[in-house]
Amino acid sequence: MKGVVFTVFLLCASTLPAAAAEPVAAEAEKPAVEIEEKIVVTAPPIVEESRYEPLAGTVVEVGARQVDDLAAQDLAAALRRVPGVVISRYNPVGGYGGGDGGAVFVRGLGTGRPGAELSTRVDGVARFAGVWTHPLLDLTGIDGVERIDVYKGPQPVLFGGMSFATIDLLPHRRQSEGIETRIGAAGGSYGTSAFTLRHAGRAGALDWTVAAGARESDGHRQGADGRTQSLLAHVGYELGAGWSAGLTLDAASGKASDPGVKGAPVPGVRPRFETDGVLGVFTLTRRHGTGKQAREGVLKLHLDDGSIDWRQWDAGQRHAFFTLTDWRNYGMRLEDHFAVGDGGDLTLGFEMERYGGRSREVRPASTLSFGDFRFGNTALFAGYAHTFGERVRFIPSAGVRYNDSRDFGGDWGGQVALRVEGPLGEAWVRAARAFNLPGVWAAAFYKSYGTGDRYKELEPELLDHLEIGASRAFSEKLHVEVALFRNEVKDALRFLPPPPPPPRWANIGEYTSEGVELSVAAQPLPELSLFVGVTWSRTEPEKVPFAPEWTGTAGLTWAHGPWRLSLDLQHLSGREAGNLRYPAAPPHLDGFVLVNGRLGYRFAGTGLELYVAGENLGDTDYSYRPGYPMPGANLLGGVTWSF
């Protein structure tokens, strides 16, 4: 799909004035921009809110307004201020998917590549490279997102494998009659530019959304260039009698170079990582029951087709080579909720997924095939929560999932929890046991080792999770939340090199991550919102990559008349960077503090906003990987037009 996204973006942009002219004229007395100005004045910084769900546990929401205030250009930038979240990247634009390039880590989880313990989803559907299993950041555009949900605990019941933590991008859908359009353009340091479009509407039973983005940058150092393109399109229709149907298309592509270790000899060919992917989701929704008994069931059919073109340099043989990967994932998910008596909520679900593809290494004189593999899972899951009491409510819940893998047999995952709500706030305790199956990557490696199907001897990686938390709203202007967590990973897959040959993988990895997380959201004035989040954690053994002892984030949003100011601060203490899958000791990185900001001015009655955004305003020296310095102080200026 190279070039397709940007072409569609230009075509959509060129047709917008004609498509939007009639509705805008019809609503001239009450333009959408006036409504938006009233809504966003007190939007909180950093995160929209944190909620607790009986089956899902702690879920942090990052809304579209927060993404704007952070001037985020991709998923990693949108999440890097969320308490307990750490990212890795090389370049200002583009998430280099090879090695330790672009990735997101939650509370010390997500460090194993190939493979992944974390799940990245679009509208509830897992999106990942079908062969190497881990998610690729350049395949998850953020321009059409209404909000991003971060599930900080494992989801063995709702999402099954690859969900020690989960990130779900929920597309924007207009709920009221009319149309809305937003166009943006920005440019700044290092030849960085960004163009975005979002158009959404509703006419009776029909709703639609089209969102596109194109970004590129020369990078802050030689070889740090990148480019991303994305397109999201959705159309939905209310069929009547509680039924509705929708079709979503999410297409994205990216190209990012590896600048290499600073000061090291420049390779004969600059390594480059290119991705292309298209995800299609058909959704059928059934709403049933009325009042407190109202529930919803959803059927999703999905197809994900993608490819990777990874160019690398072999310093020993002095030539370039390519790792080429093609995958196709597809499946279905059926989930329904039922009211049981007075206070009961039953969740039942069935899921079928098929994923995989082929990969090969192409060199000047030979081609090494990693094979063509398809894995399959079929799962049944169920959960139940019941609410007791009125003034003080007790909500116990439990759930279980049984997963049958075509290659690895059957596995169980489950969870139990208790939530208490009352005048003083709410508190909860949740325990879960999650599993993560070996991916197609294991079969691909074993084929290259010449050991056939011995990958089937591998066992799933296991996680035992415990979280105890409490939150309280002292008033409408002050909310405090605290959580204690412990994650114990067992039977993690580790690479064992020769001797003796051949190389192999084994379930011998173990580590623990535990800590405390505190967040405070305040609104001391109608035009001022504040947020502070701090996470302290420790790991055993100590040197678990991307798991700093301290992470901190703070944000400020101030709005007065046409002005809107957003400031955010991030602190990471010293930490290791690397990959737990391999035996090398991870190198150490120093801690840092970053300050970023965005100042916007909206011209009343026009829908036009001019803004300037700055990253690393303190010009801090920092990096996410040793020898890969990130940009110093840099600026981005832009304009958005909403109508």
SS3 at position 416: strand
CB 482 within 8 A of CB 412: no
Q: What is the pLDDT of residues 173-232, one digit of tens each?
A: 999 999 999 999 999 999 999 999 999 999 999 999 999 999 999 999 999 999 999 999
- Closest alpha carbon to 234 in 255, 249, 252: 249
Q: What tokens appear for 254 in the block?
A: 């990216």
- Indicate the pLDDT class of residue 158, thresholds 50, 70 and 90: very high
Q: What is the pLDDT of residues 595-608, one digit of tens each?
A: 999 999 999 999 99
Cα 344 from Cα 336, distance rounded (Å): 14
User: Which strand (E) or helix (H) includes residue 444?
Assistant: helix 440-449
- Closest alpha carbon to 226 in 249, 204, 259: 259
Cα 277 from Cα 326, distance rounded (Å): 10
CB 102 within 8 A of CB 256: yes
20 C-beta neighbours (distance < 10 Å), count: 16
- Indicate the pLDDT class of residue 127, thresholds 50, 70 and 90: very high
CB 612 within 8 A of CB 635: yes
Residue 504 has pLDDT above 50, yes or no: yes
SS3 at position 269: coil
User: Which strand (E) or helix (H) includes residue 17?
Assistant: helix 4-26
The contacts of residue 584 (CB under 8 Å, 6+ apart) are 578
Residue 23 has pLDDT above 80, yes or no: no
Q: What are phi and psi of 414, to 5 degrees?
A: -165, 175
The pLDDT value given to residue 382: 98
Q: 27 vs 93, which has greater pLDDT?
A: 93
Q: What is the pLDDT of residues 488-498, one digit of tens each?
A: 999 999 999 99
The pLDDT value given to residue 601: 98
The CATH number of the domain holding residue 270 is 2.40.170.20
Q: Considering the chain, what percentage of its residues have pLDDT values greater than 70?
A: 93
Q: What tokens appear for 103 in the block?
A: 């990735």
Number of compact structural domains in the chain: 1
> Which range is least confidently modeled, 17-31, 257-271, 406-420, 430-444?
17-31
Task: Provide the 8-state DSSP code for 423.
Answer: T
For 491-526, the DSSP string reads EEEEEEPPSSSSPEEEEEEEEEEEEEEEEEEEEEET
Range of the domain at 158: 4-642
Question: pTM (2 decimals)?
Answer: 0.91
The pLDDT value given to residue 375: 97
The pLDDT value given to residue 159: 96
Residue 63 has pLDDT above 60, yes or no: yes
Q: What is the pLDDT of residues 341-380, one digit of tens each?
A: 999 999 999 999 999 999 999 999 999 999 999 999 999 9
- Closest alpha carbon to 616 in 641, 590, 597: 597
The pLDDT value given to residue 447: 94
Mean pLDDT across 465-481: 95
Task: Provide the 8-state DSSP code for 163.
Answer: -
Q: What tokens appear for 208 in the block?
A: 């639609």
- Indicate the pLDDT class of residue 18, thresholds 50, 70 and 90: very low
Q: What is the pLDDT of residues 513-566, one digit of tens each?
A: 999 999 999 999 999 999 999 999 999 998 899 999 999 999 999 999 999 999
Amino acid residing at 541: P
Q: Where are the alpha helices (DSSP H) in 507-578?
A: none
**Residue-wise burial string across 425-462, b where 16 or more C-beta atoms lie within 10 A, e elsewhere:** ebbbebbbbbbbbbbbbbbbbbbbbeeeeebeebbbbb
The pLDDT value given to residue 80: 87
